[in-house]
Structure 1
Amino acid sequence: MAQRKPLGDLIAETPKLIVDLAKAEIDNLKSEVAGKAKGLGVGGALLAVAGVLGIFLISWLLYAGYEGLNVVFVPWLSALLVSAVLLLIVLILVLVGIGSIKKNKDFNNLESVDSIKDDVNMVRGLGHAADGSDPLDDLDRDGFGPRAAPASPANPSSTNGVQR
């Protein structure tokens, strides 16, 4: 069995623990923002490549039109086929790039920020949620481990099979 610490030692350790918690939360936030920024960078790079290929596409279409007007034969048809392939590549890159940007553009719902809010609310004595709920509501009926799922907002009296 672990030895219990005296109250004075616990109180003395509190400032260090709070500082360590703040540093850990800031590190977590930094890594989360870096991940989002990386996703935005990948999306932007894909859009840049699509833009460059779009320039090539225009040149091929111009070449195809030129060949088609000068000599109505096989060379212009092959140039149109190359243009169609470039157009397909450009469309794929644009769709993937836009999808990546849409997926990573929302900086409002960062888990680190929610965790910091929970920490501040715990220090203020409000519990884990900003609505002032009891932090013990997160535990199952035995007081050990988390509950399976929180009560639904539509039915706040629901305890998901956990009796109180």
Structure 2
Amino acid sequence: MIATFGGGCFWCTEVIFQHTKGVKEVLPGYMGGQRENPTYEQVCSGATGHVEVIQIDFDESQVSFQDLLEVFFKTHDPTTLNRQGADVGTQYRSVVFYHDDKQKQEAEAFIQALEEAKVYDSPIVTAVEPAVTFWEAEDYHHDYFNQNPQNQFCQVVIAPKLQKFLKLYQQ
């Protein structure tokens, strides 16, 4: 089964889902824009309309789409429009790209439940949109955190986020 999420920089989201039981593969890429086969530089310019996403191949017998939604919403800020931390632009917007009607319904119900429970102080701005063509990111983006542990961004931004996730989801 496939899930696709945009929750800011794909370097940050990729490593979280790599540590999620039942996830077989996580690929960074781009979705939702107008240009075919966009490059990282083009997407970062904000001109293509693409979102940095991760596409997750998961085993439904080990982890549900609902479980993945829970991880997604606990590991990024779904209340900031076109922004995650210092990353600003439409390419960093919060979005669930659904692959079938069931995923759409589950994502919408999940967001509604979060809103009703007032989990966040601000309204959730996460979009729920149909999945379109997934453009896989360049090779150097794959497994970025694990390949570049000494990178300052990895140490300052991603490592603390990963540690928080691992503490929260010890299983």
TM-score in same-fold range (> 0.5): no
**What TM-score results when the alignment is normalised by the length of structure 2?**
0.20
More strand by share: 2
Higher relative contact order (CA 8 A, sep 6+): 2
Give the greater-gyration-radius structure (CA).
1
More helix by share: 1
**What TM-score results when the alignment is normalised by the length of structure 1?**
0.20
